[in-house]
Amino acid sequence: MNKMKEIRIEKITLNKGVGEAGELLKKASKLLSMISGKKSINNVSSKRIPKWGVRPGLEIGTKVTIRGKAAEELLKRLLAAVENKINPTSFGNDGNFSFGIPEYIEIPGIEYDPEIGIVGLEVAVTLERPGYRIKKRKYRKTKVGKGHSIKKDDAMDYAKSKFNVNLGVEE
């Protein structure tokens, strides 16, 4: 196989939206730090949604990004929490995929913390190939070619072969 066609994990983003600042946000931040071992950052709203009580500048969620070898090891544990099953609709056309974990205590190696309670989180996995730097670099930035971009089927095959993901039947 061509080395430039090999797919790898660019990053994993763990996300927990709470909709308001305060105690819930602190608990969510502690949860993500406990799972990843890294400090989480808070998401700030940019829009005003009066029905939900959201205004610009209000912290409404928290996230943490994991890259490198730690991302691959963490993904194996997160997939074990959902029994290595992902719905095919969870894969995007750009090759990325995401899934939710209903209760964090299902993740192997994570103990129940009564201070946090029972909450879930969202996991987003971003995939890339060697050469994707051309779309991020500062000088002579350009698009990734159509033949080199990751498609939905490529991402599904990668998840099956690398992590033994069982793709559930579409409903």
Summarised one tens digit per residue, pLDDT across range 105-149 is: 898 888 888 888 888 899 999 999 998 889 989 999 999 889 899
CA dihedral 21, 24, 25, 29 (to 10 degrees): 170
Summarised one tens digit per residue, pLDDT across range 16-60 is: 988 777 888 899 999 999 999 899 999 888 888 888 788 888 888
Look at residue 166 and tell me whether its pLDDT is greater than 50: yes
The three state secondary structure string of the chain is CCHHHCCEEEEEEEEEECCCCCHHHHHHHHHHHHHHCCCCEEEECCCCEHHHCECCCCEEEEEEEECCHHHHHHHHHHHHHCCCEECHHHECCCCCEEEEECCHHHCCCCCCCCCCCCCCEEEEEEEECCCHHHHCCCCCCCCCCCCCCCCHHHHHHHHHHHHCCEECCCC
The pLDDT assigned to 100 comes to 93
What's the pLDDT band for 76 if we cut at 50, 70, 90? Answer: very high
The pLDDT assigned to 171 comes to 42
Q: How many Å apart are CA 115 and CA 109, to the nearest integer?
A: 18
Domain boundaries, the chain: 3-161
Which are the contacts of 39, defined by CB distance < 8 A and separation ≥ 6? 33, 64
Written out in words, the top-level CATH class of the domain with range 3-161 is alpha beta
